[in-house]
C-alpha cells in the first residue's frame, strides 16, 4: 500500500466492523498485557493494547521505542502474518518504504498513567492478513525475545472486512 493513494492511518469514510474476542499476550504476577477492541476496515485493522502492572510488585515498562536502535532498552510491538510477513513496530520506524509489502504497523496514539499502573495504546495494521493466525508480540524493556505473545484470527478479520461499509474513500492530493 504505497504510492499516491497511500493513507498512513485508518481510512475515513468507513464504518468498520468489530470482531469479538480479547487476546492476552502476557500474564505474570503483577503484570498483564492484552489486545482488544479490534475493529476491521476493508484493507486494515485497528486494535487496542493495554498493559497493566501492580505498582507494588513491578515497575512500569520502558517507554515505546522510537526507532530500531531504541529497541535494546525500550518496549516495542511486533506483528507476524501466517504467510511469514513480519513487522516490528516502533513509533517512527514503521514507514512503508522500509517494507513495501507490509505489514505496516502504526502507532495511533495512547496514554499512560505510571502511578496508577496502566499503559493504553492504539495500533493500526495494513494490509489485512491472510487467513490463519496473526501473531502479536510485545517486547518489554528491550527484551529480544517476546515477553508475551497472542494471536488474532486472520480468517475472522477477513470476514469482518467484507462487512465494513465504505461511505467514501480517502484520496491524497497529488
Euclidean distance between CA atoms 141 and 28, whole angstroms: 15
Write the DSSP symbol of residue 29.
Answer: T
- Count how many Cα atoms sit within 13 Å of the Cα of residue 145 in the half-sphere of its side chain: 0
Burial, 142: exposed, middle or buried (Cβ in 10 Å; 0-12, 13-18, 19+)? middle
Query: What CATH number does the domain located at 17-164 have?
Result: 2.60.40
Q: Are 2 and 96 in contact (CB under 8 A)?
A: yes
Specify the pLDDT at position 3.
Answer: 46
Specify the pLDDT at position 144.
Answer: 92
Q: Within the chain, which residues score under 70 in pLDDT?
A: 1-8, 93-100, 170-174
Specify the pLDDT at position 154.
Answer: 97
The model's pTM is 0.88
Specify the pLDDT at position 174.
Answer: 46
Specify the pLDDT at position 4.
Answer: 42
Specify the pLDDT at position 64.
Answer: 87
Burial, 72: exposed, middle or buried (Cβ in 10 Å; 0-12, 13-18, 19+)? exposed
Amino acid at each position: 500500500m504505497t504510492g499516491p493513494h497511500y493513507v498512513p492511518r485508518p481510512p475515513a469514510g468507513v464504518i468498520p466492523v468489530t470482531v469479538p474476542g480479547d487476546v492476552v499476550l502476557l500474564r505474570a504476577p503483577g503484570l498483564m498485557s492484552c489486545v482488544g477492541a479490534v475493529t476491521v476496515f476493508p484493507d486494515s485493522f485497528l486494535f487496542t493494547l493495554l498493559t497493566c502492572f501492580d505498582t507494588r510488585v513491578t515497575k512500569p515498562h520502558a517507554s515505546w521505542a522510537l526507532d530500531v536502535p531504541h529497541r535494546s532498552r525500550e518496549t516495542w510491538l511486533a506483528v507476524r502474518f501466517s504467510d511469514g510477513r513480519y513487522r516490528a513496530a516502533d513509533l517512527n520506524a514503521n514507514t512503508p518504504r522500509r517494507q513495501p509489502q507490509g505489514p505496516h504497523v502504526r502507532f495511533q496514539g495512547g496514554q499512560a498513567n505510571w502511578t496508577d499502573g496502566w499503559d493504553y495504546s492504539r495500533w493500526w495494521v495494513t494490509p489485512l492478513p491472510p487467513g490463519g493466525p496473526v501473531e502479536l508480540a510485545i517486547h518489554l524493556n528491550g527484551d529480544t525475545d517476546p515477553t508475551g505473545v497472542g494471536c488474532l484470527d486472520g480468517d475472522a478479520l477477513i470476514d469482518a472486512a467484507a462487512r465494513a461499509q465504505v461511505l467514501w474513500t480517502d484520496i491524497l492530493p497529488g
